[in-house]
Structure 1
Amino acid sequence: MKRILQVEGMDCKHCAANVQYVLMNQANIKKAKVNFKKGQALVVYDEEPNWEQLKADIAEAGYKIID
């Protein structure tokens, strides 16, 4: 399955790399592709990730997932 997340607070490639790192360290996420210009992250997963934990980890890194 795939899901596109809207991510607020990314300004550069370094920000995108930080978000991708956080996403790839989540359980059940197989692939993540982050585009800071669009403010989006595409995540690919087999089983549903813990979205609340993902949002908390992204927030801890200084970004925000917009529902």
Structure 2
Amino acid sequence: MKKKVETKRDKFVRLAELRTEKAVFAIENLIGLSNSRNFEYSQKDADLIIKALKNAVLSVSNSFVKSKEKKQFKIK
């Protein structure tokens, strides 16, 4: 039985959906840490978590912008 050849697009879609779902799930799990009945934390702790998440999202965003820019480069 032959294996179906996965195109680059198919691979991107498959992995993007899987990884995005995992990332969203992990972020949603962080919401539970804000429950002060179960956890003790300072505003500084919360700010560090938020900063780390914002930096990670910015890195993802920048990686796609850089990737797109490389494809559009032209010498005039």
The answer, yes or no, to whether TM exceeds 0.5 is no
More helix by share: 2
Which one has more relative contact order, counting CA pairs under 8 Å at least 6 apart? 1
